[in-house]
Structure 1
Amino acid sequence: MKKTAPVQEIVLGRNKRITIANTSIDVLSVEETVLLVQEYVDKKVPLHLIGVNADKINELNHNKYLQTIVNSCGIINADGASVVLASRFLNKPLPERVAGIDLMDDLVSLSNKKKYTIYLLGARQETVEKTAKVLKNKYKNLKIVGVHNGYFKENDWPILAEELKSKNADFVFVGITSPLKEYIVEYFQNSGIKSVFMGVGGSFDVISGNIPRAPIWIQKANLEWLYRVMKEPRRLFKRYLFGNIAFINLIIKEKFR
């Protein structure tokens, strides 16, 4: 993959930004994030809206290019209970977790109300099409200007960039795994696309009904990660076990540095 110079985005608002383990994070609640994103859309200022959890912080401490991309984003949310707990341990508390799937739903609801347009990019074709159908059924005035699966090669990026330019969507929700997602969004922004890009991980699978989400009480108890491990132990157990150990180690080093 050809690396390009990360876009240093225009930062709107006057929100405080802290640093945890070499990662910049905005001190924003969910409500404050939605209001700030609306300002980006209304002013047509391009934005890479990103959420960081323990896993991503671990990764960007081993990937300086990814770290530069993330820290250059206009809005960086804490999408992980462990990040919020770490901020309190380090005496620079964040207000709350800004869960990606919930924030996406809030922004889709806002789009329905404000007549913003959205584009869905990622997952399998049948999944992203079903996601669009579910959202259209839920939000009757929602304008979805396009969908595209996440199975394309780097040679296809210019073609897809032209597609996104022609659609000129206010929001592009990207359901592609990290760090490929960050690299793709960086390429699109360097191509002059002025949308709000938001990575949504596996949200399309949840919205389409392919994967169940944890019950509300588990979400409120900040145990959604444990629910995911129970559902996919072979794939996630080692990742969370060793990932959490690495993250705790980073935080302790920062605390006593």
Structure 2
Amino acid sequence: MDKVNILGVHVDMVNISQATDCIMRFLDEDKFHAVYTPNSEIIMLAYKDEKFCKLLNNADLLTADGIGVVHASKILKKPISERAAGYDIARQVLQKMNYTDHKLFLFGGKPGVAEEAKKKLLEEYTDLNIVGTRNGYFKPEEEAEIVEEINNSGADIV
């Protein structure tokens, strides 16, 4: 995929549909993939933090989650065709996952939020295979247990 370098962050020049297709291909591979959706603020943070910039650039897919990123790509004469926000990509991925055996684990948010999200998602995507939920509030000593729980769930996407 073509990329545009915005302040050191190498953003993939993909639209929502292309990003969705890429993620669905990732699901058929036997390896972990990292997908991030940086907006202008995240790119500015990466510009100021070399370690964070390296983390972003090591992703398998970086999409333009913000119109500022799209405008920057146009200024740099490597235009990204549309804003590919994480929310929009996730909606398409969930729609496609609904017709597969791929498994989803919902992790993060305050206690009860992941469970409520599961309930709402299953109202819309009735065949979605949600294999677990976990809030994002935990102590450092609980981390290994949470990782084990996610790994044991067989989740394809977290």
Please give the range of the TM-score, normalised by the shorter of the 2 chains: over 0.9
Structure-1 residue corresponding to 2:82:
96
| 1:61 alignment partner, one of 38, 47, 71 | 47
Question: Is 1:51 equivalent to 2:11 in the alignment?
Answer: no
Conserved? CA contact 1:115–1:141, under 8 Å:
no
Structure-1 residue corresponding to 2:99:
113
Structure-1 residue corresponding to 2:12:
26
Question: Is 1:147 equivalent to 2:133 in the alignment?
Answer: yes
| 2:22 alignment partner, one of 29, 36, 40 | 36
1:156-196 Cα offsets, whole Å, 9 max, x none, are: 22111111110120110xxxxxxxxxxxxxxxxxxxxxxxx
SS at 1:37 equivalent? helix
Question: Is 1:76 equivalent to 2:68 in the alignment?
Answer: no
Using the TM superposition, give the Cα deviation of residue 113 of structure 1 relative to its aligned residue in structure 2, in angstroms.
1.1
Q: CA RMSD in A?
A: 1.0
Gaps of 5+ in 2: none
Question: Is 1:125 equivalent to 2:111 in the alignment?
Answer: yes
Gaps of 5+ in 1: 1-14, 173-257
CA distance in 2, matches of 1:70, 1:59: 11
SS at 1:110 equivalent? helix
Structure 2 counterparts to residues 185-200 of structure 1, below 5 A = none
1:179-223 Cα offsets, whole Å, 9 max, x none, are: xxxxxxxxxxxxxxxxxxxxxxxxxxxxxxxxxxxxxxxxxxxxx
Q: 2:80 corresponds to which letter in structure 1? A: L
SS at 2:42 equivalent? helix
Using the TM superposition, give the Cα deviation of residue 155 of structure 1 relative to its aligned residue in structure 2, in angstroms.
2.3
Give TM-score scaled by structure 2 length. 0.96
Give TM-score scaled by structure 1 length. 0.60
Using the TM superposition, give the Cα deviation of residue 124 of structure 1 relative to its aligned residue in structure 2, in angstroms.
1.1
SS at 2:104 equivalent? strand
CA distance in 2, matches of 1:38, 1:44: 12
CA distance in 2, matches of 1:73, 1:17: 12
1:59-109 Cα offsets, whole Å, 9 max, x none, are: 112222111111000000000001001110111111110111111111111
Structure with max Cα Rg: 1
1:83-142 Cα offsets, whole Å, 9 max, x none, are: 001110111111110111111111111111122110000111221111100001111111
- Where in structure 1 do 4 or more consecutive aligned residues deviate above 6 Å? none
CA distance in 2, matches of 1:59, 1:155: 28
Structure-2 residue corresponding to 1:4:
none
Q: 1:84 corresponds to which letter in structure 2? A: V
Q: 1:140 corresponds to which letter in structure 2? A: T
Identity %: 27
CA distance in 2, matches of 1:168, 1:17: 32
Using the TM superposition, give the Cα deviation of residue 147 of structure 1 relative to its aligned residue in structure 2, in angstroms.
0.4
